[in-house]
Amino acid sequence: MADIREDILARLVALVTTVPNMRTVRRNDTDYFSALMPAAFVLDGDEDVVAGNDGSRPSNRPMLVEMAPEIHIIEQSDAIGSDLTTFRRELMKLVLTDATLNSLTGSNGAIQYLGCDSSFGWLEKQYGGVQIRFRFKYPLIPNDL
């Protein structure tokens, strides 16, 4: 049995845990409060088939899929903008160069950095968050699941 999607998400959690100065890393949980910050949340993302989904082949045909997990980092700090940018940089370095992730996506796959989205709480001083967007392409082979 091999579920590359789950393996990628589990590895992401492990990598986010190693981001310098990150206090809390959670998956399957969106509840947070000040005492947890800086906190990172790894959430399962959408998955789309990008190759092999034509109808002329058996339903258990191999496919190539892309998954975009949600990684949010929430922080409260006097230097909120700089801190979030630093977290983004450190996470990018970890994800894009990680041998395990590159092995999981394989030669038919890819890891792409898509960008990041920031948001700040205007009425909550020094609170902010950034969603860092990656896209993972990998084989989905139903016979191996």
Task: Point out which residues bind other proteins (CB under 8 A).
Answer: 51-52, 57-58, 60-62, 64, 106-109, 139, 141, 143
Residue 27 or 61: the one with the smaller Cβ distance to other proteins is 61
Smallest gap from Cβ 40 to other proteins, in A, equals: 30
Tokens of 77: 């700090």
Smallest gap from Cβ 62 to other proteins, in A, equals: 5
**127-140 β-sheet, strand order:** 24-27, 39-51, 63-76, 127-140, 110-120
Which helix H or strand E contains 94, and what residues bound it?
helix 80-96
Strands 39-51 vs 24-27: parallel, antiparallel or unpaired? parallel
Smallest gap from Cβ 47 to other proteins, in A, equals: 17
Smallest gap from Cβ 104 to other proteins, in A, equals: 10
Residue 63 or 68: the one with the smaller Cβ distance to other proteins is 63
Calpha distance 46→22 (Å, rounded): 25
Residue 30 or 56: the one with the smaller Cβ distance to other proteins is 56
